[in-house]
Amino acid sequence: MAPKRKSGAVSSAAKRPKVEAVSLKDFISSVLSLVNELKDPSEERVLVAPFIKLPPKKVYPDYYEIIKEPISVSDIQKKEAKDKYPDTASFLDDFKLLMENAKTYNDPDSWIAVDAKQIYDFVKDQVDSYNSVAEEKPSKSKTKSVKVKREVVSKPVDEDELVTSANLTHLCIDLLYKVIEHEFPDVGIISGPFMDNIDRREYPEYFQVIKTPTSFNNVLKKLDKRKIFTSKTPLDESLQAFYDATKLIFTNAQTFNDPSSLIHQDAVKLSDYFEELFQELKARVEQQEQKTKLKLKLKSPGQGKVKLNLKLKEDEPDEPQVTESDTMGKTSSRLSPNEMFIQLFSFATSNSSVTHLTQQFHHQMNNTSHVPTMSKAQISKASLFPTHPASASNSIVEYQYPSTGFATQSYCISLPPDGFTFYTFKVCLHKLLYDIKRKDLESGSGLSTSDDDFQCKLFVNDDEVHSGMDVYEDYRNKSKLLSYQYDLRLCNGLNVITFECKVAPAVSKQIKGNRVKNESDETAGRHTRNQLQQAKMSWDVERINFNVICNST
């Protein structure tokens, strides 16, 4: 909405904001930015995620046999950066190709094919809107009519569809867009001044009068983020909350602006049209509630008395609510050590450093004339305390951490200043994981990062470690465990070490018993490649965060 304007100042056409022509490059760049933000309102998923990059050839070789012209959103962005789109038609064709590829490789009714169509429909709407503005000639007496870009993907509205708490958000969003895009006779679309909040720096006096500024985009964002009402709110309360939030847009404009001003008159028109659409939605809900009410028919049993036999159900004892483990609030007890994937991990000076230190010690014992080399910390110590005997020494460290029963464990240590830079990080995994990979260890084939049962990865300062790893059989409490050992060279200062172990639901259920939820029926049977990727995202994960500070003085 805008500040006060008098109706007699300028002509009606001049008062309305004129639509400026946008260059093709700016338009395509803007649409790509909106595509990256598209979400499914029912599941809060980012639609573009599976289409950002092409699938790797090594993992999905059949994709490139079936799809003759592969394309991804990254490819489209590269073409846009190199100005390879001469017109909107070629730009739209690439998104159509992306949609057709998704339908060809996947089931046409699969979620990934549906998402691809939603993206294409959104881009097509933007292209049609841009083309209609580009073809329209300027008029002195009539304002251009432009479709408003929808940042929230809205499903088609079925008038016979029951209004529920689950779909009320999408119905309210659709109703708002009808108000925003409505073309009034002789004036066209008038919602432009009400789309965004007023700039406080430009109109400080507005905020002295209006205590709760709002706009169409503000209400749309709140609806999308479930801030006006949630699925648990009763329908009548949700409708009233939506009505109050939207009416405030028009009330603010009428309060701040003079009744004779154009902005005040436009607010009245939009308010009346919104009222009309809202009453239709409200009547639809009330009619639906009347149909669902239970009709009780009382049958007269002659002159006898009617007896009511009430059977009161005994109150069942309250049971604690079972939620996800390792979360705040009322939860189940933490897992026992035997139910954890990671049984033990240790951090110690590497064997090569210990061997080097032993050789240096023997050399000093046999050669008394040898002058030992001191570290920087030892030289500083000798300067501060000259009376203390100075000697070259190195500290050997070893830390062991048993399982605590939590899915994520975090530790922080500070190593002595005279320590080494080479260390060994060792993790012992559950005996069931050892049984799964015992044949691979005996054959010498080792483990890979793409195992179907479980995966282990180590990161040092966000870089994955691919070398210096050894996998072998270990013993603890008369049980055979699977051990991962990494030889690391740490740098001065803070080193962030992260180890994670991902286990498939079937294996996790064997380790943790009934604490793990059963796999849904949707993951059974034949999968598309994207369904398999989604399944791996549901694997159970245990993680160790180990912060090491080296050479601190």
pLDDT-above-90 percentage for the chain: 30
Checking DSSP bridges between strand 183-184 and strand 188-189, what pairing results, if any? antiparallel
Task: Express each pLDDT in 463-522 by its tens digit.
Answer: 998 887 888 888 887 788 888 899 888 888 889 999 999 888 888 888 887 555 444 444
Name the least confident of 2-11, 181-190, 340-349, 415-424: 2-11
Task: Express each pLDDT in 117-166 by its tens digit.
Answer: 999 999 999 998 888 776 654 443 333 334 445 555 454 555 567 888 77
**Which DSSP letter does residue 350 get?**
-
Q: Mention the CATH class of domain 10-137.
A: mainly alpha
Residue 229: pLDDT above 60? yes
Q: What is the pLDDT of residue 94?
A: 95
Helix, strand, coil in percent for the chain, rounding step 5: 40, 15, 45
- Give whole-number Cα distances, 58 to 66, 74, 240, 448, 534, in Å: 15, 19, 55, 15, 19
Q: What is the pLDDT of residue 253?
A: 94
Task: Express each pLDDT in 165-181 by its tens digit.
Answer: 778 888 999 999 999 99
Task: Express each pLDDT in 511-541 by its tens digit.
Answer: 887 555 444 444 444 455 555 555 556 788 8
Tokens representing 25 are 């490059």
Angle (CA) 462-465-468 rounded to 5° is 150
> What DSSP line would sit under 352-386, residue for residue?
HHHHHHHHHHHHHHH-TT------HHHHHHHHH-T
For the chain, the structural domain boundaries read 10-137, 154-290, 337-362+393-517+537-550
- Give the three-state DSSP class for 98: helix
Q: What is the CATH number of domain 154-290?
A: 1.20.920.10
Contacts of 222 by beta carbon, 8 Å cutoff, 6+ apart: 228, 245
- As a whole number, the mean pLDDT across the chain is 77
Q: Do the domains 154-290 and 10-137 match in fold?
A: yes
Q: What is the pLDDT of residue 467?
A: 81
pLDDT band of residue 315 (cuts 50, 70, 90) is low
Helical (H) or strand (E) element with 222: helix 216-224
Q: What global pTM score does this model have? A: 0.36
